[in-house]
Amino acid sequence: MGAQQARTLDDVIYRKVVASLAMVLALGLLGSVAGPGWSPRTLDSTIVPQTADVSIGGDVATYPVGTFEVTSSLVEIQLDGATVQAEISEPVPREDPVAGPPVAGPRPRYPAVLFMHGAGTGRHTAFRETARALASAGVVAMVPDKRLDTYTTRERDYPAMAEDYLVSLEVLRGRPGVDPDRVGVYGESEGGWIAPIAAATSPDVAFLIQVSSPVVSPRQQAAFATDAYLRNVGVPGALLRAIPRGIGSHAPGGGFEYVDFDVRPYQRAVTEPTLVVYGTADASMPTIQGAEVMITDLAEAGNNAYTVRYFADANHGIRVDGEIDPEFLDVLARWIQGLPETARAEPRIAGAQPVQRFVADPVERPRWYADGDMLVSGLQTAAGAVAVGPLLWAGAVLVRRRPRRLPPPLARWMAALSLGAALTLGAFAAYLARVAQLALNYETDPLFVHGGWLVVQLLGVTTAGLLVVSAARVLAAGRAGRLARTGWIGLLTIAGIHVGCLVLLVIAAYWGVFPAVL
């Protein structure tokens, strides 16, 4: 090879390297400015418990957990258009440790509580341990099945769910041995959006218990929880901007209107005594903001009958190392039995010191070109553009028409380009799945989290370089007059693969695969 040819080859390589670098930077810039970004506000306020002792104060005498034998039974609840089962746990009347043996007369009447499910539970067997512990302290507990014919991932109606639960409440109030004036509701997690509706709309609800309650809208809570989980796993900062781009978008195909449900108007109408409970190890809930918002909303109803408890190292279900915190059961039993005295008993706020780093704020929505159906349509169209040429080529072969060959080595470059684009998005999806698994199991794996992300980015950068080189080959073939000899199937294949892969790389850039420029 002569010196002039070597210089020419070096110039060609240099131009391709520069063009590839420019492509990567352009994709990184596009991903940065496509929006929305993610920069949650730091929570400036805090709650300082008055004492680490979670015990409920007051002078009223109450039964401790374990006082009574417990009996359980199943009943059917007839709803409007459906029938569900409910398990009722009740104390077996016995000699009163204070007043002595029961005398002849009507059966004792106990306070009662109706449990409302979170998103992860649905059967009457849920909350069984808690329900039976309460019954052993003299509190009747009912756990109905969640009505599932009107409850799906895409469609949920929290006010309607509250109406269904209120049917169960009336059955519980009419139960022999239940004091109908002392029956309240217990909402955990997703149930924290339902229980305040029941308390605000029914005069028959005597008290409200909010356990691990989101307080903010489902969309805000999901973004808050995802941020916390991803930070706990230690993901690269660029991946965090996927939170509003995914959670903030409209769902493809519609539905999911409930994710913007605002429970606060109902909370502002709650006049019943309210117990608010969080575990300090619950990363999915705004544990400080939640209590502050609840106290503020109750105040708007003129209600200062609140009690807040934080349980050290307890998770979303108020469990520590897989076991329900026994102090939590004691708190529930005494607070319910001691009403109305325990509603304002000091200390009002007690337990371990909660920590919340960021505010669960409203989530910014993606712009129209990356929202819901548009993003899915773009992905489908790009994948279709990449596949249409090869499919037509294969079809022509099957009908014994031999398509004209592509100028060599263009076919190999386009095959590598298509494979690179598929691997980039496939590796990104697999990476997200593994990160989600780590986050939900409260695990860390720094080698995978950072090494896997590097692999995804290297695939993206390599594919961007392949796009530049393959496009350069197309231009060279065009200048040499060889493209016209490929036929219309060949031209469609060339155009589809390059345009489709470019769109796929833009989608990858939107989700943060390329290094952010801003």
Q: What is the pLDDT of residues 291-341, one digit of tens each?
A: 999 999 999 999 999 999 999 999 999 999 999 999 999 999 999 999 999
- Give the pLDDT band (50/70/90) at residue 411: confident
pTM for this entry = 0.90
Cis amide bond preceding 407, omega within 30: no
Structure tokens at 302: 């003129």
Amino acid at 221: Q
Same-domain check for residues 26 and 77: no
Last residue of a domain, one of 324, 351, 378: 351
The DSSP call for residue 258 is G
Q: What's the confidence (pLDDT) of residue 24?
A: 93
Same-domain check for residues 431 and 305: no
Same-domain check for residues 277 and 410: no
| CA distance linking residue 185 with residue 164, whole number of Å | 13
| CA distance linking residue 135 with residue 139, whole number of Å | 5
By mean pLDDT, which of 203-212, 391-400, 508-517 is the weakest?
A: 391-400
State yes or no: pLDDT of 28 exceeds 60: yes
Query: Please, are residues 77 and 144 in contact by the beta-carbon 8 Å criterion?
Result: yes
* Within-domain flag for 41: no
State yes or no: pLDDT of 100 exceeds 90: no
Q: C-alpha distances in angstroms, 149 versus 68, 84, 219, 476? A: 37, 11, 23, 62
| Boundaries of domain holding 210 | 70-96+107-217+261-351
Query: Please, are residues 92 and 68 in contact by the beta-carbon 8 Å criterion?
Result: yes
CATH of the domain at 79: 3.40.50.1820
pLDDT, averaged across the chain: 91
Report which of residues 143 and 19 the model is more confident about: 143
Same-domain check for residues 442 and 370: yes
Same-domain check for residues 427 and 489: yes
User: 199-217 burial, b for 16+ CB within 10 Å, e for fewer?
Assistant: bbbbebbbbbbbbbbbbbb
* Within-domain flag for 230: no
Q: What's the confidence (pLDDT) of residue 104?
A: 41
In percent, the amount of the chain with pLDDT more than 70 equals 94
Highest-scoring range by mean pLDDT, 15-29, 77-91, 365-379:
77-91
pLDDT digits (tens, 9 = 90+) for 442-490: 888 999 999 999 999 999 999 999 999 999 999 988 888 888 778 888 8
Structure tokens at 77: 């609840």
β-sheet bridge partners, residue 324: 319
User: 58-69 burial, b for 16+ CB within 10 Å, e for fewer?
Assistant: beeebbebebbe
pLDDT digits (tens, 9 = 90+) for 412-446: 999 999 999 999 999 999 999 999 999 988 888 99
- Give the pLDDT band (50/70/90) at residue 400: low
* Within-domain flag for 150: yes
Please report which helix (H) or strand (E) contains residue 181, including its range: strand 178-188
Same-domain check for residues 446 and 497: yes
* Geometric angle at alpha carbon 57, from 55 and 62, rounded to 5°: 85
Considering its fold, how many domains does the chain have in total? 2
Q: What's the confidence (pLDDT) of residue 380?
A: 94
Same-domain check for residues 299 and 182: yes
Q: What's the confidence (pLDDT) of residue 107?
A: 60
Same-domain check for residues 269 and 346: yes
Long-range CB contacts (within 8 A, 24+) of 169-173: 169/114, 169/198, 169/202, 169/204, 169/205, 170/204, 171/75, 171/77, 171/86, 171/142, 172/88, 172/112, 172/114, 172/140, 172/142, 173/112, 173/204
* Within-domain flag for 234: no
State yes or no: pLDDT of 408 exceeds 50: yes
Helices (H), 268-406: 287-300, 326-338, 373-398
* Geometric angle at alpha carbon 68, from 144 and 86, rounded to 5°: 10
Query: Helix 487-510 to helix 3-33 angle, to the nearest 10 degrees?
Result: 50
Highest-scoring range by mean pLDDT, 20-34, 275-289, 374-388:
275-289
